[in-house]
Chain A
Amino acid sequence: MKIINLLRSSTVSMMLLTGLYSAGPAVAAEPIRIGSVLSTTGPASFLGDPEEKTLKLYVERINAEGGVLGRKLELIVYDDGSDSNKANGFAKRLILQDNVDLIVGGSSTGSTMAMIPLVEANNVPFLNMGGASVIVEPVRPFTFKLPHSDRMAAQKVLDDMKKRGFTKMALLSDTGGFGKSGRSETLKLAQSMGIAVVSDQNYGEKDTDITPQIQKIKSSDAQAMLVFGTGQAPAIATKNYQQLALTIPLYMSHGQASMEFVKLAGKASEGVRMPTPALLVADHLADNDPQKRISLDYKRIYEDRYKIDVSTFGGYAYDGLMMSVAAIKKVGSTDKVKVRAALEQLKNFYGVNGIYNMTATDHMGLDQQAFRMAEIKGGKFVEIK
């Protein structure tokens, strides 16, 4: 028995050793290491997939032009499968094993929030693509957020409603981080702007039928309806909205600003309005619009390479990468603390999502002008002035 026990334990120790050894670090030359944890699979893959494609494409292009500071960029991407727990584990791997110089990504609010404790503890500059305001409120030294906040989206939608003379609205939001945060921002803003939320409904991110909630909205006296959510459910809500023959105007959040939404919702998406970055309406921008060239360039390069429609979510990754490059160039090294300081002082940075002006109290840096109100007409996004 003793010998068997001995054998047992020695097998255990051997497996432990071999298992742990084989993942040792590789000593490489000195590329600039950019780490990324994206939701390239799972329910949030509509965010992670274009983000990954964008990062790969542009890292390749930058390297083809000689890299940054004479050093090549090395991109390390992990897929968290839309699971925040995994995002936390992979962030640890990026920081501790891959020794990345900075991290771009965290596709969703959940993944981003899961990574924040680690990047802040290890002082790694972190440019993320999460939507909710909580990411930068309170401001955390190393965390920078690229997308417009949900409050700005709510503001843009409510402004438009007010312009059209609506005083009663219905709100439909998902129970995920993005929808939850969007809901509370919308409720706060609506109150201060004198718009009554007469019906406040919610749904689960994976729901396949939202008819009951929309039926309730139909029976209320709302004059317009706003859906705050990401993923495919808002497209389902749009279809349900059409099936129930609602006639009040339908608004979406910026979480739906992609051609994917138009494809999923089909004809039902006609006339839907939503705030979007300039990217989706770039063709229609005035020639003197400072965002026109950069947006069209990104759109052309992305669509040439992948033969699929550009999405605003990939645009966030583009801005994140370009902003990192700009900060590293300015500092002249990859010193994490200095790069962080440079990011914080970034002024008039032209991205596809707008013009970023970071400050010590604002780690998102976009203003209300970055959003355009667009309506879907004939299957295309058209800017409403």
Chain B
Amino acid sequence: MKTFIRPSVLIVIFVLCMLPFAFPNAYIVDVAIRICLAGIVAIGLNLLMGFAGQVSIGHAAFVALGAYASGVATIRYGWSPLFALAVGAVGVAVLAYLVAKPILRLRDHTLTMATLGLGIIVHMVLVNEVAWTGGPDGMAVGPMKIGDWVLKGEMSWYALVACLLVLAIVISLNLFSSPAGRALRALHGSEVAAAVMGVNVPSFKVRVFVLSAVFASIAGSLTAHYNSFITPSLAGFMPSVELATMVVVGGMASTFGVVLGACLVVGLPQVFGGFEGFEMVFFGLALMLTVIFMPKGIVPSFAQRFAKRKS
């Protein structure tokens, strides 16, 4: 609970509350919602990549699985959206646990390759199981509702995802300074050293992998209801790379950094959207400059510079 009243979290809450007054139209709210949803996934991925140092470029697969769990369960079997979301998250957790056991034995590039493979497999399953998923053209998904109450309109969606984003930030900050978080950061530095210090390395890796998959699954379920349409391209290679980019650009291991990363990766293409085809050039340039001049990510680099000046 204490984390909620940290000044940094209070500022985020304040900003999220004030933003609606600055929204000129519903489309900008839509962008904000997409940023929040991406931010939740990125915070989850940051637990795995930033804290524990295990690079995954297949994380969009978990987003897609969450989305399709909600889509298939609500449309084909008539489950209530909240129940479907919960079952989806549990299912993804179980899958992540089973997958994590073998693939987290791999290290560095081989682990990255394995997560990439996972993404491709999920994508292929979604494309080919036409009877359930609607195949490459995707499927329509109903709105989010609890009983007879339907979550409608951009502003109510914004309120929901903003609250969830704050919750995700708090969970992540809590974990960062908890014993488990320290253990994760220790195994990021050196697995051997961590093991010598009594950290159960395989167990921690699996647990953080499962946790980050659950973040992705829940955000995926919400994305499905919000967009009201999903396709297998959710699990594609590019979405996974975008997620990894959010973590790297914003700042590895920095919770606020990855939220900033989500703002940039989701928001910049919209800002540059008017340049007709050139938006990718600007986007690429922005990313390159960040990585060249701030290799640790934007937020940690600024924090470091600030700390230096003070001393």
B138, A114: Cβ atoms closer than 8 Å: yes
B263 interfacial contact with A, CB 8 Å: yes
The 8 Å CB contact of B137, one of A8, A109, A117, is A109
The 8 Å CB contact of A24, one of B15, B24, B127, B230, is B24
B306 interfacial contact with A, CB 8 Å: yes
Bound-complex Cα distance A15 to B250 (A): 11
A88 interfacial contact with B, CB 8 Å: yes
Known: A8-B256, A23-B270, A97-B27. A13 touches B11 (CB 8 A): yes
Closest to B305 in A: A7
A175, B256: Cβ atoms closer than 8 Å: no
A17 interfacial contact with B, CB 8 Å: yes
B38 interfacial contact with A, CB 8 Å: no
A165 interfacial contact with B, CB 8 Å: no
Known: A109-B137, A176-B135. A5 touches B8 (CB 8 A): yes
Min CB gap A238→B, angstroms: 22
Bound-complex Cα distance A11 to B257 (A): 9
The segment from B198-206, B214-222, B295-303 that touches chain A is B295-303
B180 interfacial contact with A, CB 8 Å: no
Interface residues as binary, B1-21 with A (CB distance below 8 Å gives 1, 0 otherwise): 000001111011001000100
Min CB gap B67→A, angstroms: 10
B196 interfacial contact with A, CB 8 Å: no
Min CB gap B243→A, angstroms: 15
B137, A23: Cβ atoms closer than 8 Å: no
A residues less than 8 Å from B285 (CB atoms): none
B136 interfacial contact with A, CB 8 Å: yes
Min CB gap B254→A, angstroms: 7
The segment from B28-36, B40-48, B77-85, B91-99 that touches chain A is B28-36
B residues less than 8 Å from A175 (CB atoms): 127-128, 130, 135-136
Closest to A22 in B: B271
Interface residues as binary, A84-99 with B (CB distance below 8 Å gives 1, 0 otherwise): 1100110011001100
Closest to A82 in B: B233
Bound-complex Cα distance A85 to B263 (A): 19
B263, A4: Cβ atoms closer than 8 Å: no
The 8 Å CB contact of A84, one of B35, B233, B256, is B233
B137, A20: Cβ atoms closer than 8 Å: no
Closest to A5 in B: B8
The 8 Å CB contact of B28, one of A7, A23, A113, A114, is A23
Known: A20-B22, A21-B22, A114-B138. A15 touches B263 (CB 8 A): yes
Question: Which A residues, 195 to 233, have Cβ-Cβ distances below 8 Å to chain B?
Answer: 205
A286 interfacial contact with B, CB 8 Å: no
A residues less than 8 Å from B234 (CB atoms): 85
A23, B231: Cβ atoms closer than 8 Å: no
A355 interfacial contact with B, CB 8 Å: no
Of B19, B35, B267, the most chain A CB neighbours within 10 A belong to: B267
Interchain Cβ contacts under 8 Å between A and B, 14 examples: A9-B12, A12-B263, A15-B260, A20-B28, A21-B22, A21-B24, A23-B273, A24-B24, A85-B231, A88-B228, A96-B27, A97-B25, A117-B228, A118-B228
Additional pairs, 19, CB under 8 Å, beyond known A20-B22, A85-B231, A113-B140: A6-B11, A8-B256, A8-B299, A12-B299, A13-B11, A16-B32, A17-B22, A19-B268, A21-B22, A23-B28, A23-B31, A24-B24, A84-B137, A85-B229, A88-B227, A97-B27, A114-B138, A114-B231, A116-B140
